[in-house]
Chain A
Amino acid sequence: DARVTQTPRHKVTEMGQEVTMRCQPILGHNTVFWYRQTMMQGLELLAYFRNRAPLDDSGMPKDRFSAEMPDATLATLKIQPSEPRDSAVYFCASVRGSYNEQFFGPGTRLTVL
C-alpha cells in the first residue's frame, strides 16, 4: 500500500531553534506539495516541486522557511529560526502527472514554545 511518509510526526521545540521536516513521496509521483494547516487559516500551500524543481514557494515566509528536494525520494522543509506562530500541522502531498489527485502524508505536528 503506497503512502506518503513524513518525519517526525511530532516536534516540540523552543523559539529560535531550527526545525527540519522530511517527506518521502509515493514512488513514481513527480510532484510534491508542502502545506501548513491551522484552525484559523485552514490548509495553506507553502511550496511545491515538480520533477524536483521548485515551481512556486510564494506561500512561504522567505526569511525563515526553505524547501528543497535533494532527490526524487526526499523533500525537506526547514524553518530557521522557528517562532511560536509557526506552530501548526505541516503536510506533504504527492501526485503523479497532473496537479490533481493529491495524496497526503500523515503530517508533522509542530509546536514552537
Chain B
Amino acid sequence: QKEVEQNSGPLSVPEGAIASLNCTYSDRGSQSFFWYRQYSGKSPELIMSIYSNGDKEDGRFTAQLNKASQYVSLLIRDSQPSDSATYLCAAASGNTPLVFGKGTRLSVIA
C-alpha cells in the first residue's frame, strides 16, 4: 500500500526563523511530489511541486527531493504568523492519483 508519512506536529517556530517540514513516501515509483497548505476550515492550496532530485525555490519556499532516501522536505524561510497552517505532502507515480500524508501542523509564534 502506497503511503506518505508526515509528523503531525505541531511544529512551533518563532517568527523569522526557518520552518522545516519533512515527508517520506513508500512507493519507489513515485515521480511527482507536491506540498499543499491548508488553513483551518479551508481547502488545500498547492504551493510547491517538485519532480527531480535537488532543490526548487519559489520565494520563501524551498522544496527538496531525495529519491534515493524517499524523502521530501519543505523549507519556509523568514516564517510569518500567516504561514501557520497544516502542510500536506503528496506523491504520485505515473497517472495514478496523488497519495496524501495526514499533514504537519505548523505554528509560527510572533
Contacts and interface: CB of A to CB of B under 8 A. Distances in A.
A106 interface: yes
Q: In the complex, which of the residues A33, A41, A42 has the most CB atoms of chain B within 10 Å of its own CB atom?
A: A42
A100 B49 contact: yes
B55 interface: no
Given A91-B43, A104-B45, 9 more contacts: A41-B102, A42-B100, A56-B97, A100-B49, A100-B92, A101-B46, A102-B46, A104-B43, A106-B43
B42 A106 contact: yes
**Size category, B interface:** 10 to 19
Interface of B: 32, 34, 42-46, 49, 88, 92, 95-98, 100-103
B49 A101 contact: yes
Interface in A79-113: 91, 98-107
A19 interface: no
Interface of A: 33, 41-43, 45, 48, 56, 91, 98-107
A99 B96 contact: yes
A34 to B, nearest CB: 11
Nearest to B102: A42
A85 B21 CA distance: 31
Q: In the complex, which of the residues B88, B97, B98, B101 has the most CB atoms of chain A within 10 Å of its own CB atom?
A: B97
A84 to B, nearest CB: 21
Contacts of A45: 97
B44 A100 contact: no
Contacts of B43: 91, 104-107
A103 B45 CA distance: 7
A105 B49 CA distance: 19
Contact of A100 (B45, B98, B101, B102): B98
A48 to B, nearest CB: 6
Contacts of B45: 104
